[in-house]
Chains A and B, each alone.
Chain A
Amino acid sequence: MSNTPENKTLTERLVSWVNGEREPKDQTLFVMEKRHRQPRRPQPSDEEHEEQERHRFRRFLRGFPVAAVMICGVLVAVLVWAVMTMPAFGEAGNPINNEVAEHYLEYTEEETGATNAVTGMILSYRGFDTLGESCVLFLAVSCVMLLLGRDAHNTDEHDLLKIGQEDTIEKQAPDRILQQVARTLIPFIFLFALYVLINGEVSPGGGFSGGTILGCGLILYTVSYGHAATSRWFSAAIYAAVRTFGLLLYAGLYGYYIFMGANGLESTVHFSMAIDLAVGLVVACTVYGFYTLFQRGEI
């Protein structure tokens, strides 16, 4: 027989382990488990056991304050020592005021084209780090999709019934107050999100904050008008396309930037703005995807 556990190759066993098949239990172990063994010590009765537990608890309580005070004291001593060895706040001779910070403040606009030094730092000098953060968000949504996504295999009648009931309640008795307020607010929320995204290179803001606002606007729309209203124009396919496009746009732009020598772009495109938009798309998709996946297991 080729499908006994001993004869399987490593790959076959790995595949069956991934698929969740269990190997049959070893019969000899099963027999050993069945044999009744005498306990080594006589079992204490319930009252004795309770008394022992109470005794142990009281002993623990006696030692607890001493240990807590000692731990707190050591912690306080370490922290106070650390604060005392730090240089005084705001003095010109401190180690943070060196030529690196000066260089960034002086040349950011010239080298990256971003008026806001923080944006220039995040998106150009340290853009590889931000690319990694975007990848983390992308992967997080992918993992949640793998774990919580519903399809024909892991959905039973009960789930479908529950979701159908919620949909009918939403359709028959929509919340008029919420809908009116949402209708008033959502255009402004989207407008503000676009403002923060596009204006990130000259003002506080940028991809992460603007994307979060965009995602929250989407969530508000979904909450007030129902899931069907959103998925009519923001289906799973469009969702996947948008978030992949965001990440690829970022990777492509930043790769181009790196390989072109990282300094020759200041006059060609609004580089920071494009990267801000890409990050914003990824973040908005992450926020919205978490909400819908946790709520009903689909986009």
Chain B
Amino acid sequence: MAHDLLTALGLALLIFGLFVFFTAVLGLYRFDYVLNRMHAAAVGDALGIFCILAGLMLLHGWSLSAAKTLLILVFLWLTSPVASHLIAEMEVTTIPNLHAECKEETR
């Protein structure tokens, strides 16, 4: 019973992860500007990766493979925001007219 429940939960997480990636790819195609597209892609990088890997862990059960999957999740969650940060920094420091593309906030 508990095993069936875990499998159902894992499948649900996988399907939700696929949906999140679908929205990410859709946003990547529909948006024009770098920062907008990055926002769309980051949804997939954070939530989509989490859903898919957590679903895989639940499907696979308590094992060494699940621990390795957890390590992959930690690695991706550490590196993907840094990459996004670098791309955004590059865009903001090099674009000549940021006003035309988006609203600026000063803090």
Contact = CB atoms under 8 A, between A and B. Distances in A.
A26 to B, nearest CB: 49
**Size band of the A side of the interface?**
under 10
A27 interface: no
Chain B interface mostly: helix
Nearest to A184: B78
B78 A178 contact: no
Chain A interface mostly: helix
B88 to A, nearest CB: 11
Interface string A209-228: 00000000000000000000
B78 A177 contact: no
Contact of B89 (A175, A181, A184, A185): A175
A177 B79 contact: no
A287 to B, nearest CB: 18
B75, B82, B86 — which one has the most chain A CB atoms within 10 A of its CB? B82
B30 interface: no
B85 interface: yes
Contacts of A175: 86, 89
Nearest to B78: A181
A178 B89 CA distance: 12
A177 B85 CA distance: 9
A71 B50 CA distance: 45
A181 B86 CA distance: 12
B83 to A, nearest CB: 9
Contacts of B78: 181, 184-185
Nearest to A169: B93
Interface of A: 175, 177-178, 181, 184-185
Given A181-B78, A181-B79, 4 more contacts: A175-B89, A177-B82, A181-B82, A185-B79
Can you list the 7 inter-chain pairs with the closest CB atoms, starting with the nearest?
A181-B82, A177-B85, A181-B78, A178-B82, A177-B82, A185-B78, A178-B86
Interface of B: 75, 78-79, 82, 85-86, 89
